[in-house]
Amino acid sequence: MTALAAFDPEARDAAPILRAAGVSVRLGGVSVIADADLELYAGDLVLLTGPNGAGKSTFLRALVGLVPASGEVEVAGRPPASLTGRAAFAYAPDEPALYEDLTLAEHAYLNAALYRDPEAEARTLDLLRTFGLGGRADEYPGTHSRGMRQKLALSLALGLWRPLTLLDEPFNALDLESQELLADLLRDTTRRGGAVLLTGHQRELAGLLGARVVAVRDGRLEPQPAEGERAAPGRAAGGP
């Protein structure tokens, strides 16, 4: 799948990049997510917020097929487990999934090769420089702090320029300057026409990002009104 084209304002009238309908997850016989509906369109930036244990991470994992779930999920009109669907999204879990025997630069090369997008390598290396890791690209992540590992994981996901980017607690372990850089990068992603869904228990992230907020409470998704706005009954989060 090629990199994203420039943002098209008419794209919001097209099909959603992400469609989740009636998604439910039970783990160990306990309901974690119940009958969740969510749609994201080109240019959407949505923050899933809620306390620890609310089900935010579980919902993201269900969307990408990492935990069993009932209901329907489509990414760019395809099941996320299909080759076309998998190529349409980038996902960064809350704990960076890295190869300890590969350098940062080798991570960038491998990620680009897996997605068959040679330009992603250069974009990822550029993001590492943006995060202040350009001079450490030949080092191994095992020698780095939690925050530095987070920057690598984010650079890998954002460097792919997929239609949908899913980030689980991406602001964790980042210093203030890096948080502001990440907020700018996420807004840039949506301006290019991508959709971003991220989790965070800090409600103030919504103001930093200018994101639409969806609260997760008792396993259910509850779209929150924008500041100065009343909730519209039945309005889909991220919908046009």
- What angle, rounded to 10 degrees, do the helices at 146-158 and 104-114 form? 30
Q: How far is 107 from 120, CA to CA, in rounded Å?
A: 11
3-class DSSP state for residue 80? coil
Strand (E) or helix (H) holding 213: strand 212-217
Sequence letter at residue 144: H
151 phi/psi in degrees, rounded to 5? -65, -40
Q: How far is 34 from 78, CA to CA, in rounded Å?
A: 22
Cα dist from 86 to 8, 65, 69, 78, 129, whole Å:
23, 10, 17, 9, 27
38 near 74, Cβ under 8 Å?
Answer: no
Instruction: Compute and round to an integer the Cα radius of gyration of the chain.
Output: 17
Q: How far is 163 from 103, CA to CA, in rounded Å?
A: 27
The pLDDT of residue 161: 97
Structural tokens at position 236: 């889909």
3-class DSSP state for residue 237? coil
Give the tens place of pLDDT for each residue, 114-167: 999 999 999 999 999 999 999 999 999 999 999 999 999 999 999 999 999 999
The pLDDT of residue 204: 80
Q: Maximum distance among all alpha carbons in the chain?
A: 52
Structural tokens at position 48: 């899933």
DSSP structure class, residue 137: T
The pLDDT of residue 202: 74
- For 10-37, the DSSP string reads GGGGS--SEEEEEEEEEETTEEEEEEEE
The pLDDT of residue 199: 97
β-bridge pairing 89-92 and 164-167: parallel
Q: How far is 111 from 122, CA to CA, in rounded Å?
A: 11
Q: How far is 174 from 124, CA to CA, in rounded Å?
A: 18
97 near 64, Cβ under 8 Å?
Answer: no
Which residues is 70 bridged to in the sheet? 24
Q: How far is 198 from 105, CA to CA, in rounded Å?
A: 25
The pLDDT of residue 12: 57
The pLDDT of residue 6: 40
What parts of the chain have a pLDDT lower than 70? 1-13, 227-240
